[in-house]
Amino acid sequence: MVDVLALVEARLRTALGEPDARAAVTFLGTDRVEVLRFQDDDQEGPIVRYATLGMSAQPMSDPTAMLADPVAGPRAELVLSVRGGHADTDKVLRPLAVLAASPQVEGVVVAPGASLDVGEPLWPGAPFTSVLVAEPGGLVEDLELDEPLDPVRFLPLLPMTPNEAAWKRVHGAPALQERWLTNGTDLRDPSRKSVPLD
């Protein structure tokens, strides 16, 4: 059997460089989830990227299915990018691990357009308690696995304020993303305000 997580970590290193920190979280009755931290720079300063490692070890199964298929089904890892040095974002490790474990714990399939809520600030003082799952393929390319395994998709997470999350429930993910784009919202700003929604 192929070691999916070794391939996933290799793909993350190819795309994001060497991780400078990693932490592991284990929840009762689930596999261990690691969160790797990568440092990067753009024109406006340091970017910190957090990527889960462990969510893709098992395929996500339809919660209505009587038996989970141990082979077939979508696989994913989560990637969160924030501007470094503005907030204690390293405390996001546990909330990220909780989200990565949710397919095993709650039987949910995490897919683009979904909202994931951790029920508390993503890090101390964060104006966000939930994230929007964005389309994969930009930062880290999908990892193709041998048949019959589905590819691993690396899903970007976009933090949402409670107002944005409520607005998205009514109007949908594309409308919220359009609103962010129109307003030039820096989605990597760890202390940004909600986008105008009226």
Q: What percent of the chain has pLDDT over 90?
A: 69
Q: What percent of the chain has pLDDT over 70?
A: 94
> Residue 107 has what pLDDT?
83
Which residue type is seen at 41?
A: D
> Residue 153 has what pLDDT?
96
pTM recorded for the entire structure: 0.92
pLDDT above 90 for 41:
no
> Residue 70 has what pLDDT?
66
188 pLDDT tier (thresholds 50, 70, 90):
very high
SS (H, E, C) the chain: CCCHHHHHHHHHHHHHCCCCEEEEECCCCCCCEEEEEEEEEECCEEEEEEEEECHHHCCCCCCCCCCCCCCCCCEEEEEEEEECCCCCHHHHHHHHHHHHHHHHHHCCCCCCCCEEECCCCCCCCCCCCEEEECCCCCCCCCECCCCCCCCEEEEEEEEECHHHHHHHHHHCHHHHHHHHHHCCCCCCCCCCCCCCCC
And the tokens for 97? 């691990």
Per-residue pLDDT tens digits for 77-132: 999 999 988 888 899 999 999 999 988 888 888 999 999 999 999 999 999 999 99
pLDDT above 80 for 63:
no
Please state the rounded mean pLDDT for residues 34-61: 90
Q: In the predicted model, what is the mean pLDDT of the chain?
A: 90
- CA angle, residues 112, 118, 120, in degrees to nearest 5: 140
Per-residue pLDDT tens digits for 125-157: 999 999 999 999 888 999 999 888 899 999 999
Dihedral class, residue 99 (left if φ above 0, else alpha if ψ from -120 to 50, else beta):
alpha
Please state the rounded mean pLDDT for residues 28-34: 82
pLDDT above 70 for 171:
yes
And the tokens for 160? 């949402």
